[in-house]
Amino acid sequence: MRLERIYFSMVALRLSAAIHHPVDRKQINMLVNCWNKKRERHDQNPIHFRQRVKDEIAWQRKHHLPINKERFFFSDELELFSRYVGYDLTK
């Protein structure tokens, strides 16, 4: 099963719609950092979004695809993040 990529800008839009208040990527980054630290405290591996994007850019360059530098969740990670935030951000 291939996991879908959901970019932080889309997560910000979904959260904005859920709480009826504007949310930008900077605020999403803060939430994600807190969530990642909570994962570490509970002996789960943190997600290294910066490295993930670097790897993705290298792959895009190798295959001559347009470069996208935005951070993203995989769909299974977004489900866990949604539980942390308290809103269903998967749809």
Q: For the chain, which residues make up each domain, given as ranges?
A: 5-85
Note the pLDDT of residue 11: 96
pTM: 0.86
| Measured torsion, CA atoms of residues 81, 87, 89, 91, in degrees rounded to the nearest 10 | 140
**pLDDT beyond 70 at 2:** no
Give the model confidence (pLDDT) of 14-31 as tens digits. Answer: 999 999 999 998 999 999
Note the pLDDT of residue 3: 81
Strand, coil or helix: what is 64? coil
Give the mean model confidence (pLDDT) for residues 68-85.
94
pLDDT class of 1 with cuts at 50, 70, 90: very low
